Structure 1
Amino acid sequence: MIEFTEGYHSYYVYIITNNYRTTFYIGVTNDLRRRLKEHNENIENGILTFASKYQLKNLVYYEKFTWIQLAIAREKELKGWRRDKKIELIRDFNPDFKFLDEHFI
């Protein structure tokens, strides 16, 4: 029997969008709260990233993983999807397309 003496880790694949829900960013992180804060700070401080350029800061989707390899594979999979398939995934998880930030900030 294998015992895990260390606590398990959490990794998140997430999708953020702008206020108009027109552009999406897919990322992976081990600390979703911190990462969402960083996206907001980049916008506020004018740091030029894809997410800040398009004002992407509103969380609309996330998945939780315990293995980073699975999270990275899922991130790559989602990034390869067409826009309509991404929207369908978001709507299946979050039917009203609400911003979910308050759960993590």
Structure 2
Amino acid sequence: MIYFVYILHCSDNTYYTGITNHLNRRIEEHQSGKNFNSYTSRRLPVQLVYYCTFTNVEVAIAKEKQIKKWSKAKKEALINNEFDKLPNLAKKKFPHKK
């Protein structure tokens, strides 16, 4: 079975990261807004901006959890295929001490 880790761009300019084994169906579920308590239902419309595939569900879940912790800038670097920027983008920036 194939598993998809995906990122949606929401109407409020935020990102939602998820995992599924049926990407098209899952995007349609997000777009329908039928789960009123979901993050995306209040931020419609949403647009698929990134996905990657896995054959191992545990690896896919780990990747989803990793991406969810990333900063917006780091997610945008991934979306834009700017892989060289990923190591230098951190969730929090701390000032250098002198």
Instruction: Give the structure-1-normalised TM-score.
Output: 0.71
Q: Name the aligned partner's letter for residue 47 of structure 1.
A: F
Question: Secondary structure in 1 aligned to 2:18?
Answer: strand
Length, aligned pairs only: 82
1:47 is aligned to 2:36: yes
Question: Secondary structure in 2 aligned to 1:17?
Answer: strand
1:76 Cα offset (Å): 0.5
Structure 1 vs Structure 2: percent identity of aligned residues? 39
Give 1:71's aligned residue. Answer: 60
Q: Name the aligned partner's letter for residue 77 of structure 1.
A: Q
Q: Does the 8 Å contact 2:11/2:43 carry over to 1? A: no
Q: Name the aligned partner's letter for residue 76 of structure 1.
A: K
Give 1:11's aligned residue. Answer: 3
Residue ranges of structure 2 left out of the alignment (5+ in a row): 83-98
Give 1:30's aligned residue. Answer: 21
For 2:73 and 2:11, locate their aligned partners in 1 and report how far apart those are by CA, in whole Å: 18
**Two-structure CA RMSD over aligned residues (Å):** 1.8
Residue ranges of structure 1 left out of the alignment (5+ in a row): 1-8, 94-105
Give 1:5's aligned residue. Answer: none
